[in-house]
Every structure is written in structure tokens, then in C-alpha cells.
Homo-oligomer: A and B are copies of this chain.
């Protein structure tokens, strides 16, 4: 009997987050105020002080509060699986492992940081949290976290998703969240847009602006973000910390680690705890996979750009296709952010990680291969990583190498089945990357002298 699952108990769960800023050979660039373009912190009315502190901390370990741990224990530690059946299906000598976050009640890794953010918000006196959501993963996670901690939650959901993904909306409402189709009449931003275009289908940029305006206007509220920021990525390191213990148990070590990147939080959560090993000389190849529709690392420059579409958020140093670039409508909604998290961008610049971009039809093809072997229907986002894992396993078949490959499987695809239907019907489309549109968008990067 070959072992299939590597399970650690909740006693072995990490009690501190790993902060890669302690170990970077070159510190992260600052973030800049969008007006003054001077180094700044996260806007204090929107973020509790504890999160601002974490954002810039260079302490290696930051303790996870017991109340946060107690909620994480509802579903953590998650399982590290050995994909024996996929290996057989591919007839590869490679050993494939996957760390699966889809057993979180929110269906993805997003809950790991949502719980922490809700906790610190409450500690700082908030009665309610406000956020935006596109596809609905992040909104689901924050709704759940607020419900657990007894906070109100308000989610501005991009109108086109609100209408197309009713299940995600109902999930949030079940946990007591108020979910509005954005643009809404609850904010000045929303009212202005609706006045010009009553049929506006919304955008993530508009939803962010509405959520920020809403939280800014009230003493009892914070604004919350589900990716990109340093503290968000740090909260996700529970994934990689658990994985390292599970690999010890398996008596193995990954030669290749693969994760998908949108904002970068699931990828960072898995790989950051391996960075000290890599800096210490360990030979581990780390691959970030993005969609060809929004290839910030593989096609974009490393530049100063706004964190949001409206140009009101702080400016960060990141790989970007330009904050005004609108990516083609691929199903992996979670990978359509214009920039890459500063931490991930920095690691790419330092060549500690590499990146690849994959097309939509190929990733669904890989997703179905994975599902038929392992049973799990993956979300479109991590299916990008699956594509690369299968490529690497096929290379091992050719070369005869027995590499150990680790896949970050960030969530299930139960709410993405309409995308699978399009794929199965042969109606899915690949998009050539509109390089000229990106060039146009890059002209709107902020002018920064540092």
C-alpha cells in the first residue's frame, strides 16, 4: 500500500506566520502615496494598525492569535496528497504531490487571511468590514470570517458576476453578508456611474472604489483586501509551513513547486516558506503560472503602478500590464488582476522564482485530466498550475528523471461548472494577448522619481 495522503494533526499546525521580509537579500521597495508619490503606509482609516505593522515588519515570525488559530482549526491543517493516479495516467516517473485548499468551507485558501483580517478589524474596534468581490471567492471568505467573529459584512460584487454567479451571492447571504451589485446607489462613485450609464455592468475597479468610499465614510468600518498586500500573503504562509512538515513526514523534498498567480497570495502562501531553503543553496525550482490573458510577469515590465484601476490606491513596485488594462474575459476571474503582488514581483526580479503563461483551453484540458485521475474538479485558477505540473511530469517521462513536483491546488471548481460546460462543448476560446492594448495602458503608469 502506497501512502496517498500526508496528514498532520492540529497540534502540528503553525502557531506563527512566516514573514519573508526578514530574509530578503534586498529589502522590498516602499509603497508610495498616489498623490505625493512619497513613501507611505496603508491608509489608516481603511486598515487597522496591526495590519499596517505586519505590512512593513521585518520580524521573521509573527504569532497567530489563538482566536484565529481556533477558527483555522475548523478546516486546517489541509491535506498533502500524493497523486498516484495522475502519475499512472501520465506514465511518468515523477512524483506528484498536491496541497489542497478546497476543503476550506469557503472552497479556497482565501479564508486563511479573511479570518486574520476580521480578527484584527474587530480588535481595533470595527463593527463591520467592507470589501469588493469579482468572481466571489474573496467575498465568500470574508463573509464567513465576519460571521465567525460576529461582525457585519458588506460586499460590493461586480454586477456582471452578481448576475452570472448567483450561487456565490447566496453563499455570502447565508453567512449574513449584505451583497450589492456594483455599481450601486449606496456610494457617490456608484451613483455617478449609474447616472451616466444606468446599465453599467460594473468592474473590479468600480467595486473597489465603492468599498473604499463606504469604509472611509464610517468610523465603525475597515476595508479589506484579499490578495496583493504583504500581510495578506504572509497570512497564507500557513499553507507552505504545513506542506513542509508533511513533506518531512513523506521523506521527500520538492524539486519543483508550481502555483498559479493572480494577485499572488495562494502562490506566495505555498512557496514563501521555501525561500530560506533556496537562499541557503537548496536546488528548488519555483514556477508561478499566469494566464496568457493577463501575463504581468511574463509580458509586463517591473514598474511603479497604482494598486487599483482608479489610481487612488498606493503605488507599488510590481510587474504590471498597466492598471487601466482590461484583460480578455477568461474564466479564471481570480487571475485577472493587472499587477503582481510586490513580494512576488520582488522574488521574480531576484530570480528566486520564474513564471510561465498558459492558454485557457490547455488549462481546462489539464483540469479534466486531473479530475479524472484524482476526483477533484479544480477551479480554473489552479488549473493553470496543473498544466505546468503535467508538462514537467511529461518532461520527466522523456528524460527518465524522478523529480518530485509540488502543486498548489488552491480551490475547487464547484461554482465554475459553467466554464467546464463551455470547454466540454468546444465553445471555449483562447485569446491572443493584446500587446498593443498593454502598451497603451502602460502609457498611463504614474510618473515616479525614486
- A residues apposed to B, CB below 8 Å: 1, 3-5, 7, 9-11, 66, 69-70, 73-75, 81, 84-85, 103-107, 111, 144, 147-148, 166-167, 170-171, 173-176, 368, 371-372, 374-377, 414-415, 417-418, 420-421, 424
16 residue pairs bridging A and B, Cβ less than 8 Å apart? A1-B69, A3-B10, A5-B9, A7-B9, A74-B85, A103-B103, A104-B375, A105-B376, A144-B375, A148-B375, A166-B418, A170-B420, A170-B424, A171-B377, A176-B372, A414-B415
Residues of B within 8 A of A144 (CB): 375
Taking A85-B74, A174-B368, A372-B175 as contacts, is the C-beta distance between A417 and B7 under 8 angstroms?
no
Task: Say what secondary structure dominates the interface of chain A.
Answer: helix
Task: Tell me the minimal C-beta distance from A172 to chain B in angstroms.
Answer: 10
Q: A74-B375, A167-B417, A170-B420 are in contact. List 5 more A-B contacts (CB 8 A).
A: A5-B9, A104-B375, A105-B376, A171-B377, A174-B377
Residues of B within 8 A of A375 (CB): 74-75, 104-106, 111, 144, 148
Residues of B within 8 A of A418 (CB): 166-167, 170
Residues of B within 8 A of A106 (CB): 375
CB pair B4 A147 closer than 8 Å: no
Copies in the complex: 2
CB pair B374 A74 closer than 8 Å: yes
A1, A375, A377 — most chain B CB neighbours (10 Å): A375
Of B5, B74, B75, B417, which contacts A171 at CB under 8 A?
B417
Q: How many angstroms between the C-alpha atoms of A10 and B79 in the bound complex?
A: 12
Q: How many angstroms between the C-alpha atoms of A106 and B167 in the bound complex?
A: 18
Q: How many angstroms between the C-alpha atoms of A309 and B84 in the bound complex?
A: 43
Minimum-distance CB pairs A-B, first 5: A105-B375, A4-B73, A170-B417, A167-B417, A414-B414
Residues of B within 8 A of A417 (CB): 166-167, 170-171, 174
Q: How many angstroms between the C-alpha atoms of A443 and B128 in the bound complex?
A: 59
A9, A11, A105, A107 — most chain B CB neighbours (10 Å): A105
- Considering only CB atoms, which chain B residue lies closest to A173 in the complex? B424
Q: How many angstroms between the C-alpha atoms of A376 and B171 in the bound complex?
A: 10
- Considering only CB atoms, which chain B residue lies closest to A2 in the complex? B70
Q: How many angstroms between the C-alpha atoms of A171 and B107 in the bound complex?
A: 16
Task: Tell me the minimal C-beta distance from A395 to chain B in angstroms.
Answer: 26
Task: Tell me the minimal C-beta distance from A221 to chain B in angstroms.
Answer: 21
